[in-house]
Amino acid sequence: MNEHPYDRLTPDAVISAVESAGYRCDARLLALNSYENRVYQVGIEDEVPLVAKFYRPQRWTEAQIREEHSFSFELRDADISVVAPLVDAHGDSLHCYDDFLFALFTRRGGYPPELDNPDNLIVLGRTLGRIHSVGRAKAFEYRPTMTVQRMLADSREFLLAHFIPTSLEPAYSSLTADLLAIVTDVFGEVPPQSMIRVHGDCHVGNILWRDDCAHFVDLDDCCMAPAMQDLWMFLSGERHDKQLQLSELIEGYSEFCDFEPRQLRWLESLRTMRLVHYAAWLGRRWQDPAFPHSFTWFNTERYWAEHILELREQMSALQEEPLQLL
């Protein structure tokens, strides 16, 4: 296997990078569960440990990362619970060591929110409402915009070219072509004013729950997208369950930000795009040794058969009536 850029990020390199930012490390190093980037808890002499995040080379430009940081500072300055990067004595939050761009964060403890707890959902809704009220203030200049082309069409073409087994290619190609047509039609309804700055990757792994407060971390996927992008991943189970969860979320959300009911029609299209894009994300990262090691179930005949079944279920969901606000 060809050498991957992260192969150069040895423990000594991590410590040297953090010390280049003005800290004295005590050699304690703990790799945290992160695959897109490399993230470490680093011990600091006579201080609490820091979290060092090394951005994946060539994924984001420096301008895009700085805009991510700027967004997190806006949210922090609005007293919203986000974990923003630390700023050095020169006012800089982004550092470079041996061609690796990295940022440092305070360590924050917590556990995932309970999505079957109505009180947790109301708090999540309130926090997202506050995030989106800031997100609406202006547009990103450098961060990407969520599009059907980027999320679904490009991902589909990549998988067909490199990963879908020959025996499943006709089924996958036909099914995803139909999904692409439906999602393109639905997403064509999204007006420009509904595209706002969002977190972009709101799953429970990116939320630390502590003291009845939701602390949002990892704005690595922040982008321009509909508000629903940050809401739909908290909905699970049967339709009745999703309906109740949605009601709690929007009850909290609406205290700080108006919600457009028409966005409920976009929910399943957003889910469809993520399903295909996630499979393509794994495929695009397959040359990174961390991925085959951690995602052993990916790229097997069984995985692709189950993926097609999941997409067929998604086709049915797209044809159902959208959820309604109670």
Q: What is the per-residue pLDDT across 72-84, written as a single tens digit (0 to 9) for each?
A: 999 999 999 999 9
Catalytic option among 79, 88, 119, 218: 218
- Checking if the pLDDT of 6 tops 60, the result is yes
In this prediction, residue 2 carries a pLDDT of 66
Orientation of helix 62-77 relative to helix 118-135, angle to 10°: 120
pTM of the shown model: 0.95
Mean pLDDT calculated for residue range 81-94: 95
Buried b (16+ CB within 10 A) or exposed e, 35-70: bbbbbbebbbeeeebbbbbbbbeeebeeebbbbbbb
Distances (CA, A) of 149 to 71, 159, 178, 180: 25, 14, 14, 9
- Checking if the pLDDT of 1 tops 60, the result is no
Is 201 one of the catalytic residues? Answer: yes
Residue bearing tokens 């951690």: 294
Mean pLDDT calculated for residue range 221-232: 98
CA 47/CA 30 separation, integer angstroms = 16
What confidence tens digit (pLDDT) does each residue in 9-51 have? 999 999 999 999 999 999 899 999 888 999 999 999 999 999 9
**Phi (first) and psi of residue 208, to 5 degrees:** -105, 120
Catalytic option among 116, 119, 201, 211: 201
In this prediction, residue 109 carries a pLDDT of 87
What confidence tens digit (pLDDT) does each residue in 170-226 have? 999 999 999 999 999 999 999 999 999 999 999 999 999 998 899 999 999 999 999
CA 127/CA 213 separation, integer angstroms = 9
CA 213/CA 203 separation, integer angstroms = 16
What confidence tens digit (pLDDT) does each residue in 281-322 have? 999 999 999 999 999 999 999 999 999 999 999 999 999 999
Q: Is 3.90.320.10 the CATH classification of the domain at 118-319?
A: no
CATH class of the region 14-106: alpha beta
In this prediction, residue 35 carries a pLDDT of 87
Using CB atoms within 10 A of its CB, is residue 168 exposed (0-12), middle (13-18) or buried (19+)? middle
Is 218 one of the catalytic residues? Answer: yes
Listed by start position, the domains of the chain span 14-106, 118-319
CB 101 within 8 A of CB 65: yes
Beta strand residue intervals within the chain, DSSP E: 25-31, 38-44, 50-54, 95-97, 100-106, 196-198, 207-210, 213-216, 223-225
First to last CA, the chain: 54
In this prediction, residue 20 carries a pLDDT of 96
- Residues of the chain above pLDDT 70, percent: 99
Residue 180: closest CA among 202, 201, 160? 160
Reading the block at residue 151, the tokens are 């999320």
pLDDT, averaged across the chain: 95
Residue 230: closest CA among 241, 214, 244? 214
Residue 280: closest CA among 156, 147, 153? 156
